[in-house]
């Protein structure tokens, strides 16, 4: 019997993997970012600052980042698919509890725990694709998975913002002890539960997975190898800085656009997240282009496009701001889809630890989200949008420098 080399494009199993990961991506990122579009409501409901309200996003991504360290050894023992399924199931249960908590400190604790158990998908998806999909289609499939995560992020934001807008038009301010923001979160949990069930049914069992039961010393040694490759470190930093600029921008944009001269409602601001699928498609297209050329030749264009978006966001006309969000999203998803595919390939070909390399990439990625996601609201409070521009602009300039250096690095593939 020949060794399994991975499913090819168009095979039934490939389509099931793509559909299953799409459902998993939607379920995960609905729960992770369902508070972002309604941060101004949290600020008013709890009489807190924008930076404090943004903690509802940051603590969840911080919990997820910590969970990524645990996700790899767990998935190496029980399998990628089983971890993804149970991670989603537990996260949905926790999210139901979180949506019912009226206390802000307890709410943040619940969000942290939810993020912790959500780590199963982001921690294993890239490695699962590398193990199950033929190399000729792996980068494209990774781009498609990233697109699924964008749909999840978009859905969470649109549903939460839309529910608040609807409740406002109906004159409903609360039900029992739950205010409108918590009612909106409950609606997103329902969406996530349906998608989690779809993932459980669709995602096929692994064929390219081999269980490992490493000791603690062996795990530390593997993570050490994943931290000694300069190219991998550069890719980790790309994920951290790109995600930081992206999430930081969207953490603040609602506060900017609800003020004069824009005076947009939360429902209208929520519609701006429709730039997500366009950016996600750009990431998938970049993956297809990289399959035909190379990762190192395409990734440099991501920060360039994102910096054009940063420049547009610094201007005042609303249509230019929307264009800036579109360009920033496009550039970010190009960087993220290519960097995550490159990490999986480089981790296998170079350090020989693809799971640990993918886990560290996602750890840096969500650390960037947590740190910059709170720095940008602080910048907004201190210096309005010019302060935000300096933060996100600096992140993307450093990304550009890193991609240029990576382009000159020695290939191991």
Confidence grade of residue 337 (pLDDT, cut at 50, 70, 90) = confident
Q: pLDDT value at position 205?
A: 85
Confidence grade of residue 221 (pLDDT, cut at 50, 70, 90) = confident
Q: The tokens 């918590």 sit on which residue?
A: 182
Q: pLDDT value at position 2?
A: 55
Q: pLDDT value at position 78?
A: 86
Mapping DSSP to helix (H, G, I), strand (E, B) and coil, where does residue 176 land? coil
| Backbone phi and psi for residue 205, each to the nearest 5 degrees, phi listed first | -65, 155
Q: What does the pLDDT look like over 229-242, one tens digit per residue?
A: 888 999 999 999 99
Give the pLDDT mean for 45-57: 87
Strand partners, 178: 175
> Does the pLDDT at position 196 exceed 90?
yes
Residues 106, 57: contact at Cβ < 8 Å?
A: no
Report H helices in 79-210.
80-98, 104-117, 120-132, 135-170, 180-202
Q: Which domains, ranges and CATH numbers included, belong to the chain?
A: 12-407 (1.20.1250.20)
Q: pLDDT value at position 294?
A: 77
Q: pLDDT value at position 410?
A: 67
In what helix (H) or strand (E) does residue 221 lie, and over which residues does it extend?
Answer: helix 216-226
Give the pLDDT mean for 208-215: 73
> Does the pLDDT at position 86 exceed 90?
yes
- Contacting residues for 192 by C-beta, under 8 A, at least 6 apart: 26, 27, 28, 30, 31, 88, 91, 92, 95, 156
What gap in Å lies between CA 375 and CA 396, rounded to an integer?
Answer: 15
Mapping DSSP to helix (H, G, I), strand (E, B) and coil, where does residue 178 land? strand
- Contacting residues for 26 by C-beta, under 8 A, at least 6 apart: 148, 151, 152, 155, 191, 192, 195
Instruction: Please give the C-alpha separations between residue 258 and each of 145, 300, 343, in angstroms, as whole numbers.
Output: 33, 34, 39
Q: What does the pLDDT look like over 89-124, one tens digit per residue?
A: 999 999 999 988 888 999 999 999 999 999 988 878
Q: How many CB atoms lie within 10 A of CB 408?
A: 7
Give the pLDDT mean for 334-344: 86
> Does the pLDDT at position 279 exceed 90?
no
The more confident residue out of 369 and 412 is: 369
Give the pLDDT mean for 263-284: 80
Q: pLDDT value at position 400?
A: 96
> Does the pLDDT at position 244 exceed 60?
yes
Q: pLDDT value at position 246?
A: 93
Q: pLDDT value at position 1?
A: 40
* CA nearest neighbour of 332 among 344, 324, 343: 324
């Amino acid at each position: 019997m020949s060794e399994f080399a991975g499913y090819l494009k168009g095979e039934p199993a490939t389509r099931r993997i793509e559909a299953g990961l799409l459902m998993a991506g939607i379920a995960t990122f609905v729960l992770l970012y369902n508070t972002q579009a309604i941060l101004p409501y949290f600020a008013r409901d709890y009489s807190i600052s924008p930076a404090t309200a943004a903690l509802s996003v940051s603590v969840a991504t911080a919990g997820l980042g910590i969970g990524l360290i645990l996700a790899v050894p767990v998935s190496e023992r029980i399998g990628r698919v089983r971890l993804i399924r149970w991670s989603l199931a537990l996260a949905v249960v926790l999210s139901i509890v979180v949506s019912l908590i009226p206390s802000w400190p307890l709410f943040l604790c619940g969000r942290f725990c939810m993020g912790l158990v959500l780590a199963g998908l982001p921690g294993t998806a890239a490695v699962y694709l590398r193990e199950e999909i033929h190399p000729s289609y792996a980068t494209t499939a990774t781009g498609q998975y990233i697109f699924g995560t964008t749909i999840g992020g978009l859905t969470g934001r649109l549903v939460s913002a839309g529910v608040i807008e609807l409740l406002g038009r109906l004159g409903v301010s609360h039900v029992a002890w739950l205010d409108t923001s918590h009612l909106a979160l409950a609606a997103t949990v329902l969406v996530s539960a349906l998608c989690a069930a779809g993932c459980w049914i669709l995602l096929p069992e692994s064929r390219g997975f081999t269980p490992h039961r490493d000791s603690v010393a062996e795990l530390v040694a593997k993570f050490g190898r994943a931290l000694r490759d300069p190219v991998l470190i550069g890719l980790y930093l790309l994920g951290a800085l790109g995600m930081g600029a992206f999430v930081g921008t969207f953490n603040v944009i609602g506060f900017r656009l609800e003020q004069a001269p824009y005076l947009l409602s939360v429902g209208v601001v929520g519609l701006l997240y429709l730039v997500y699928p366009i950016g996600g498609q750009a990431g998938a297209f970049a993956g297809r282009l990289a399959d035909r050329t190379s990762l190192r030749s395409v990734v440099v264009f991501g920060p360039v496009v994102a910096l054009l978006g940063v420049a547009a966001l610094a201007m005042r006309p609303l249509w230019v701001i929307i264009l800036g969000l579109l360009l920033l999203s496009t550039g970010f998803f190009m960087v993220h889809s290519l960097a995550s595919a490159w990490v999986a390939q480089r981790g296998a070909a170079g350090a020989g630890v693809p799971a640990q390399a993918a886990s560290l990439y996602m750890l840096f990625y969500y650390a960037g989200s947590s740190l910059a996601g709170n720095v940008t609201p602080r910048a907004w409070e201190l210096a309005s949008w010019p302060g935000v521009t300096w933060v996100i602009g600096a992140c993307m300039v450093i990304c550009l420098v890193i991609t240029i250096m990576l382009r000159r690095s020695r290939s191991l593939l």
